């Protein structure tokens, strides 16, 4: 069979020019022959390394409407009216009202404008007001309470009241409440809206209307559904449940490019993301939309707490995406201090440290566990060569105050020895499979370990298909097998709102792990591969070997890369991938096998170093009939792992692995 694939790398606009642009034709030639039976050998008497206890984690940032219009529970789009400084975008007038942005009537210094609602012709027969359709809809469910809050003031003559309501797209009233007491001063108003029996739907609208004529100003108009763990200002439950099933050990936060911003004043400036949400100014993210920062540093940390994972804190290191940078030395000092303050906010004692006390004031007295701090993001893109010096300044200051913290560099440095280096891999399936033995031969002995902080097999959009999951699984076998070196890894990006896939819509990056619209969500095949790998493993990696593993030819045409001519080349890429781990207490051996071929493959498994392997075990298998098969909102569980009893196991057995499949065998060893 001959497969010809066009592989084009879509990379972030600002990095396209810098990263090698690869637009190549890869030719993969499969020759499925009746060759010798492949053999996979496991030597259970040899532990090559413990499985890193922190291996599986999450990477996150505000991209693809990940928080606003995603994980963050807020249902109102542009609640603080700062998404566009000319128009009240995503808001529309109701009845004969007019709405406009008013820069002369701010709520405070952070929310320094307001929406002016001119409802001067409102009457009983003709209510006037404003409406918001949410992030491509407002999800409503039956018999559920939604919490409304907003700040408002009115011109003198207004005597109210206001009606806050939820209506269906055809105008059907689904819930409403009255709010009164407006006067000439800013005040906060709150109300609960409870739906009755209804079919869950996202085609709904939130409205604030009045039948009394007047002029009003509004700010921070918010609507929250019930959240995960009932946290105020909390997260969307279905997405949290998908993440919980991944059993993540850490969360790399807050980015990614989102940490850096396009310009230094658009970085994730953490001090502006804490405290009362009405005091957070918000900022433009490098993914080209507004962030209210309602989802700020403490919300990230509480997300960690809810899923029992540790924050892996990335601190802004003085470099922004459009090549703004701060020279190492005195100019950088305030940023270093900011990072030290941030570490203290995360982990400092509430009684004895300034920023620990601030965290307590913000509602969380207990410190969060913190072991890893990353300095910057993808600093190899800093052409000024300043990273070495910038890294050293952060490294020295952080180690001096927090010697126990592990410091992660994002590019090679000579000035100090980082504890870990963050490597990123966005690849095609063939490339991912082609590098699936990369860490087996990586030199050991240095002090610096590896954090693969962003990686993905980028096949399929908006979420990856089975080909993506197969490439991922091959790569995860490599990382798990080498977890003496690769201490942690996290797939990226995590989320995509799939409501509007056109230009300027809800997706800025193709191939994202989890997709959703306002109402429902789904995991891609790559998501389920993550769930399988992170849930089914032991705590020791066992020595493995293999024979007769079939390969396919990967023919890479001559090309120019990073300004260097590269001749045509052919690489042998395996069609089977595997690794084995063992649980210390139960003795259970977890054998992971990936068959990327279009046909079934019979494999002989030989296990030495054990007395016996029970004939019966468990097999968890995810398979597809085509590498293009995928999940979607419409068909969310087309490709999922299925767990069944496995028979015919032993110290030596032969098993057929289905085409396009990922299998985890649980083998009971004595």
> Binder to ligand AHR among 509, 522, 533, 657 (CB under 6 A)?
509
Query: Where in 418-447 is the site for ligand AHR (CB under 6 A)?
Result: none
Cα 530 from Cα 582, distance rounded (Å) = 18
Closest distance between ligand AHR and the C-beta of residue 541, in Å? 28
Stretch that binds ligand AHR, among 158-166, 252-260, 573-581, 589-597 (CB under 6 A): 252-260
Residue 493 in contact with ligand AHR, rule: CB under 6 A: yes
Nearer to ligand AHR, 256 or 617 (CB): 256
Residue among 572, 588, 569 at smallest CA distance from 580: 588
Check residue 378 for interaction with ligand AHR (CB under 6 A): yes
Nearest residue (CB) to ligand AHR, 220 versus 377: 377
Report in angstroms how near the CB of residue 288 gets to ligand AHR at its nearest: 13
Nearest approach, Cβ of residue 264 and ligand AHR (Å) = 17
Verify binding: residue 61, ligand AHR, rule CB under 6 A. Answer: yes
Q: How far is the CB of 509 from ligand AHR (least distance, A)?
A: 5
DSSP code of residue 470: H
Q: For ligand AHR, which stretch binds (CB under 6 A), given 22-30, 154-162, 254-262, 658-666?
A: 254-262
Whether 316 contacts 267, CB under 8 Å? yes
Q: Quick one: DSSP state of residue 168?
A: E
What are the residue ranges of helices labelled H in 331-386?
Answer: 333-347, 354-361
The answer to whether residue 382 forms part of the interface with ligand AHR (CB under 6 A) is no
492 binds ligand AHR (CB under 6 A): yes
561 vs 563: CA distance, rounded Å = 5
Identify the H or E element spanning 174. strand 173-179
Residue number, 118 or 454, with CB nearest to ligand AHR:
454
Q: How many Cβ atoms sit within 10 Å of the Cβ of residue 584?
A: 11
Give the residue nearest to ligand AHR (CB): 256
Distance (Å, rounded) from C-alpha 46 to C-alpha 465? 36
Place of tokens 């030290």: 340
- Contact track, ligand AHR, 2-21, x by CB under 6 A: ----------x--x------
Contacts of 666 (CB under 8 A, 6+ apart): 536, 588, 589, 590, 617, 618, 619, 620, 646
Based on CB atoms, which residue is closest to ligand AHR, 319 or 509? 509
Q: Residue 13 pairs with which residues in a beta bridge?
A: none
Query: Which residues lie below 8 Å from residue 2, measured CB to CB, with a gap of 6+?
Result: 27, 28, 29, 30
Question: Which of 257, 347, 465, 623 touches ligand AHR by CB under 6 A?
Answer: 257
CA distance 29 to 495: 34
Residue among 28 and 461 whose Cβ is closer to ligand AHR: 461
Q: How far is the CB of 64 from ligand AHR (least distance, A)?
A: 9
Smallest gap from Cβ 394 to ligand AHR, in A, equals: 18
Tokens representing 510 are: 């193709």
**CB closer to ligand AHR out of 15 and 602:** 15
Give the nearer residue to ligand AHR in terms of CB position, either 217 or 300. Answer: 300
Q: Are 96 and 118 in contact (CB under 8 A)?
A: no
CA-wise closest residue to 134 among 169, 159, 101: 169
Q: Which of 132, 167, 347, 377 binds ligand AHR (CB under 6 A)?
A: 377
CB of 255 to ligand AHR, least distance (A): 5
Rounded Cα distance, 71 and 51, in Å: 30
Query: Minimal distance in Å, beta carbon 630 to ligand AHR?
Result: 20
Residues 6+ apart with CB under 8 A from 443: none
Residue numbers of the site for ligand AHR (CB under 6 A)? 12, 15, 61, 255-257, 377-378, 454, 492-493, 509
């Amino acid at each position: 069979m001959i497969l010809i694939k066009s592989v084009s790398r879509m990379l972030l606009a600002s990095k396209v020019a810098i990263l090698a642009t690869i637009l190549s034709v890869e030719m993969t030639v499969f020759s499925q022959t009746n060759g010798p039976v492949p053999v996979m050998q496991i030597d259970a008497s040899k532990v090559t390394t413990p499985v890193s206890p922190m291996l599986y984690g999450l990477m996150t940032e505000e991209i693809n409407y990940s928080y606003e219009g995603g994980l963050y529970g807020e249902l109102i789009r542009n609640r603080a009216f700062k998404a566009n400084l000319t128009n009240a975008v995503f808001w529309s007038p109701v009845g004969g009202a007019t709405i406009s942005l008013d820069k002369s009537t701010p709520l405070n210094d952070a929310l320094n404008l307001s929406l002016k609602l001119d409802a001067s012709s409102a009457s009983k027969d003709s209510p006037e007001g404003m409406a918001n359709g949410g992030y491509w809809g407002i999800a409503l469910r039956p018999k559920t309470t939604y919490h409304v809050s907003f700040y408002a003031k009115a011109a003198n003559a207004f005597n109210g009241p206001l009606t806050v309501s939820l209506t269906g797209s055809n105008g059907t009233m689904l819930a409403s409440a009255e709010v009164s007491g407006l006067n000439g001063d800013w005040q906060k108003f709150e109300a609960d809206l409870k739906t009755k029996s209804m079919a869950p739907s996202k085609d709904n609208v939130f409205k604030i209307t009045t039948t009394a004529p007047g002029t009003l100003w509004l700010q921070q108009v918010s609507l929250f559904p019930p959240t995960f763990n009932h946290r105020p200002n909390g997260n969307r439950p279905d997405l949290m449940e998908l993440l919980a099933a991944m059993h993540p050990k850490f969360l790399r936060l807050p980015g990614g490019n989102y940490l850096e911003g396009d310009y230094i004043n658009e970085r994730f400036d953490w001090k502006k993301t804490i405290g009362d949400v009405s005091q957070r100014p918000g900022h433009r993210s490098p993914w080209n939309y507004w962030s209210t920062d309602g989802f700020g540093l403490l919300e990230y940390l509480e997300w960690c707490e809810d899923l029992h994972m540790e924050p892996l804190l990335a601190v802004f290191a003085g470099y922004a995406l459009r090549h703004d940078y701060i020279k190492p030395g005195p100019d950088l000092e305030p940023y270093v201090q900011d990072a030290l303050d941030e570490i203290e906010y995360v982990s400092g004692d509430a009684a004895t440290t300034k920023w620990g006390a601030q965290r307590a004031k913000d509602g969380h007295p207990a410190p969060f566990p913190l072991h890893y701090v990353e300095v910057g993001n993808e600093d190899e893109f800093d052409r000024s060569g300043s990273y070495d010096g910038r890294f050293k300044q952060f490294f020295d200051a952080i180690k001096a105050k927090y010697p126990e913290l592990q410091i992660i560099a994002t590019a090679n440095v000579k000035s100090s020895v980082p504890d870990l280096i963050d490597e990123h891999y966005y690849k095609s399936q063939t490339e991912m499979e082609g590098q699936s033995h990369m860490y087996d031969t990586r030199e050991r002995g240095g002090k610096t370990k590896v954090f693969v902080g962003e990686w993905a097999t980028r096949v399929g959009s908006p979420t990856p298909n089975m080909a993506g999951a197969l490439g991922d699984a091959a790569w995860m076998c490599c990382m798990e097998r080498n977890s003496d070196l690769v201490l942690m890894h996290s797939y990226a990006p995590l989320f995509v709102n799939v409501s509007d896939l056109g230009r300027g819509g809800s997706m800025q990056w193709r191939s994202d792990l989890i997709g959703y619209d306002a109402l429902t969500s789904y995991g891609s095949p790559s998501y389920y591969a993550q769930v399988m790998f992170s849930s089914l493993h032991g705590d020791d990696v066992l020595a493995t070997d293999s024979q007769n593993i079939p390969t396919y030819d990967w023919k890479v045409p001559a090309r120019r890369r990073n300004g260097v001519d590269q001749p045509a080349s052919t690489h042998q890429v395996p069609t089977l991938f595997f690794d084995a781990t063992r649980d210390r207490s139960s003795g259970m051996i977890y054998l992971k096998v990936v068959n990327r071929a279009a046909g079934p493959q019979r494999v002989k498994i030989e296990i030495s170093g054990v007395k016996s392997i029970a004939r019966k075990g468990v097999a968890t298998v995810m398979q597809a009939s085509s590498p293009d098969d995928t999940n979607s909102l419409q068909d969310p569980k087309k490709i999922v792992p299925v767990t069944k009893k496995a028979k015919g196991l032993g110290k030596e057995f032969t098993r057929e692995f289905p085409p396009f499949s990922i299998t985890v065998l649980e083998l009971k060893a004595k």
